[in-house]
Amino acid sequence: MEVLEILATESTPLILLNPKGTIEITGKCIPENSLELWEKVNDWMTQYVKNSPSHTVFIIQIDYLNTSSSNEILQILYKLNDLLLQGKSAVIKWYYYVEDEDMKELGKDYANMLKVPFEILEIKQVQLV
C-alpha cells in the first residue's frame, strides 16, 4: 500500500493516510461533493484493514464538518472496529478547540458508537494579535 495524501482546500481537510499506522484528517470539511472526496479514503481504508500493522493511530482535528462528511467519517471510523476483531490495536484521537462544544459533543457521540478506544482532547484556539 502507498501513502495517500489529499491536500487541504478551502472546503476540504488535509488527509494523510500512512500504511505504517498513522491516519490524519485535519481542517475544514465542507466539500460540495462529499462522496467524491471520501470515496478514495474509504477505498484506502478497506485495503488498510486487510493489511494493517499491529497498531493504528487515527488523528482527527476538524474545524467544521457538514452532515454528509460527518456520516462518511463515521463509516471510515467503523472500519477500525475490524482491526480489533483481528487482534490489533487502534486509538482515535479527536481534537477540538476549547470553544467548540459542537465538535466536542460529536466526538463523544462517535466514541459511544465505536469499540475503538477514543480520546477526546482539547486544544486552545490561537489568538492572533
Model-wide pTM > 0.95? no
Q: Would you say residue 14 lies in a domain?
A: no
pLDDT at 120 over 80: yes
**Tens of pLDDT, residues 58-86:** 999 998 899 889 999 999 999 999 999 99
Instruction: For 87, list phi and psi in degrees, rounded to 5.
Output: 85, 15
pLDDT band at residue 128 using 50, 70 and 90 as cut-offs: low
Q: Would you say residue 128 lies in a domain?
A: no
Mean pLDDT of the chain: 92
Q: Whole domain around residue 92: which residue ranges?
A: 24-123
Q: Would you say residue 71 lies in a domain?
A: yes
Q: Would you say residue 29 lies in a domain?
A: yes
For the ranges 12-26, 31-45, 104-118, the lowest mean pLDDT is seen at 31-45
Average pLDDT over residues 80-105: 94
Average pLDDT over residues 101-108: 95
Report the C-alpha gap between 127 and 129 in whole angstroms.
6
First-to-final CA distance of the chain: 44
Q: Would you say residue 19 lies in a domain?
A: no
DSSP, collapsed to helix, strand or coil, labels residue 123 as strand
108-115: Cβ within 8 A, 24+ apart: 110/74, 110/77, 113/74, 113/78, 114/77, 114/78, 114/80, 114/81, 115/81, 115/84
Q: Would you say residue 129 lies in a domain?
A: no
Q: Would you say residue 56 lies in a domain?
A: yes
Strands 4-6 and 14-18: antiparallel
Q: Would you say residue 110 lies in a domain?
A: yes
Q: DSSP code of 30? A: -
Report the C-alpha gap between 83 and 85 in whole angstroms.
5
pLDDT for res 126: 61
What total of structural domains would you count in the chain?
1
